[in-house]
Structure 1
Amino acid sequence: MPLVDQMLSQVLVLQVNLYACKARLEADSDPEALHDLRIAVRRIRSLLHPLRRHPAVVPLRHAASEVGQITTPVRDLEVLAAELGRRGLTACCSARLAGLRSRYRDILASPELERLFTRLDLWPDEFRAAQREGDFDNLAIRIVNQITKQSRQLMSALGNTNHDPHELRLLAKRLRYCAEAFPRLSPLPSATFQALKQMQSVLGDWHDRYQWCLRANQEEDLQGLVPVWEEESVQLLAESELIAAQLSSLLRPEKKDSAPLG
């Protein structure tokens, strides 16, 4: 299947997934509906990232970005509520869960979500029109160059002894999702995918605890957990350093085992 057709097909699958997530959110049927919706949105953005400046792509990526922004605080609250429940702090957990219901409704009724679905409906025709003009004749090269660029950015950050965990988390996430969107074009060794996933997971857990400690400054019922979260943060950063060493080895140009283009 031609690469442009593959992109169209993948976005269509993600669009169907988004409708399913929206229905789950409306029914309040499971706690992972919003999380899965956000992953689908993130994958749409990653899939289109190599063409992010093209006029046929900009509106859809912007709409996806808006949905990501408005759902982030709600997802953060979900994760915090789950943490409090796991710690046995039932009252604290319930207080935050109670506030989630209305925030789900706000997301479902938001112009940002409506705009994303509208852009998804319009995008295939706009993308095909650009294809007919020959705009995507070098698409495979663009994708390989984009993954290579992101790989170098992560490698540079890993080589900085004072690297910022926030930056590392974002760079690992971007590279992982972009490479996963185009596995046959990715020049990365196959082992890199698992290492990126581990880095994203560990630094995601660290980021959660960082945010919770900040929230404790305004939310008094969280203050008793700050010492625990701070201790866990140290452990998670130590674990991330081990993964960083593995990633550095995998990303060295001389150790790459490039996959065939196609």
Structure 2
Amino acid sequence: MDLRTVRERLGEPVEQTRQAGVPGQVHATLDRRLRDLLDHDPGTRDGSDPEDLHQMRVAVRRMRSVLGENKASLDPEWTDELRAELGSLGRALGPVRDLDVLIERFRAHIAELPEPDQRPARALVTRLTRRRGSARRRMLAALDAPSYPALLARLVDTVNAGVPARQEKKKAKPAKPVTPKDVLARPHRKLRRAVEALGPEPADEDLHALRIKVKKLRYGTEMIRATAGKPAKRAVRAAAELQDILGEHQDACVAEEEIRAFLPNADPAAAFAVGRIAEREEAGRRAARDAWHPAWLRLDEATRALLR
């Protein structure tokens, strides 16, 4: 099934879902994110603008996250199968996007180095660009595989027919309007407990795990933003701020790992230049460590206001 056929089958955007309760919110979210995915598919294949791949990957992650966080209200077997298929697509897109981020990051650092250091430092970018070429070939092969159009067809069927809700043994009561507690209480509780478990100097991997929990809370808040009004918008902004800080920390950690892998085989000029980049990354990592907890307090306050 090509993209044109997918769009013809998809029809008009869902303005008012036919489903009530949490399944209705999930239905509307899948509709929006599927359209995002389709919008950025051509650009991802073309490769001229890295933002297309970024937005396509974000669409996949948001669909997978909203399904996982609301599994209690959905058909569990259907949810697990669809999340697994989305996970496979996300893993195909991820390596190229991660390398895009690193390459852009190092190029920005190199542009700020003294002129004599710029040329030897580019050896680091050349190394990453070769890896990106291999990762991109694997990504395109995944997009051309039969599993990808099969996933699109499944998503289209879901958007057209509605999300399969969990079947209750007892007679189901009429669905009530979705409240922030229905969507946000669980991810907020898990995030708060994770923060409380951290020591004064959290390990890098613990802060990365925290960022994943922040994203889940943010995606849930975005799902109800249209109905929850300004408090939800404030919570989304606070989540985005914390996510960005933790993302900067993670990017700096990954960059430092790449530098450590590069240095043993680098010539002296390249090693010196890239060492200066490492100093910048260490400074950025430390700044993010200083900033994340105040940002968490702002997010916690904004989310608590929604849950009152």
Return the TM-score normalized by structure 1: 0.81
Q: Structure 1 157/9 Cα, relative in aligned 2: closer, same or farther at 3 Å?
A: closer
- Per-residue deviation, residues 64-114 of structure 1 (Å, max 9, x unmatched): 112222322222111110011112244433443344344223212214644
Match of 1:156 in 2: 193
Q: Structure 1 219/98 Cα, relative in aligned 2: closer, same or farther at 3 Å?
A: same
C-alpha distance in 2 between matches for 1:56 and 1:135: 20
Match of 1:20 in 2: 39
C-alpha distance in 1 between matches for 2:108 and 2:260: 21
List aligned pairs for 1:55-94, cutoff 5 A: 55-88=77-110, 89-94=121-126
Q: Structure 1 140/106 Cα, relative in aligned 2: closer, same or farther at 3 Å?
A: farther
C-alpha distance in 2 between matches for 1:15 and 1:130: 19
Helix, strand or coil at the partner of 1:29: coil
Deviation at 1:36, TM superposition (A): 0.7
Match of 2:241 in 1: 198
Match of 1:237 in 2: 289
Out of 53, 58, 63, the residue aligned to residue 39 of structure 1 is 58
Segments of structure 2 that go 5 or more residues without pairing to the other structure are 1-15, 111-120
1:182 paired to 2:214:
no
C-alpha distance in 2 between matches for 1:144 and 1:45: 20
Compute the RMSD of aligned alpha carbons: 3.3
Q: Structure 1 257/123 Cα, relative in aligned 2: closer, same or farther at 3 Å?
A: closer
Q: Structure 1 217/137 Cα, relative in aligned 2: closer, same or farther at 3 Å?
A: farther
1:249 paired to 2:301:
yes
Q: Structure 1 13/185 Cα, relative in aligned 2: closer, same or farther at 3 Å?
A: closer
Out of 210, 213, 223, the residue aligned to residue 168 of structure 1 is 210
Segments of structure 1 that go 5 or more residues without pairing to the other structure are none
C-alpha distance in 2 between matches for 1:219 and 1:140: 55
Return the TM-score normalized by structure 2: 0.70
Supply the AA of the counterpart residue of 1:169.
Answer: R
Q: Structure 1 27/248 Cα, relative in aligned 2: closer, same or farther at 3 Å?
A: closer
Q: Which has the higher contact order (CA 8 A, sep 6+)?
A: 2
- Which of the two has higher C-alpha Rg? 2
Deviation at 1:19, TM superposition (A): 2.3
After superposing on structure 2, the runs of 4+ consecutive aligned residues of structure 1 that deviate more than 4 Å are: 124-143, 184-188
The question of whether the paired residues in 2 share the 8 Å contact of 1:71 and 1:107 is answered with yes
Deviation at 1:38, TM superposition (A): 0.7
Match of 2:113 in 1: none
C-alpha distance in 2 between matches for 1:159 and 1:131: 33
The question of whether the paired residues in 2 share the 8 Å contact of 1:25 and 1:104 is answered with no
C-alpha distance in 2 between matches for 1:186 and 1:48: 20
Helix, strand or coil at the partner of 1:56: helix
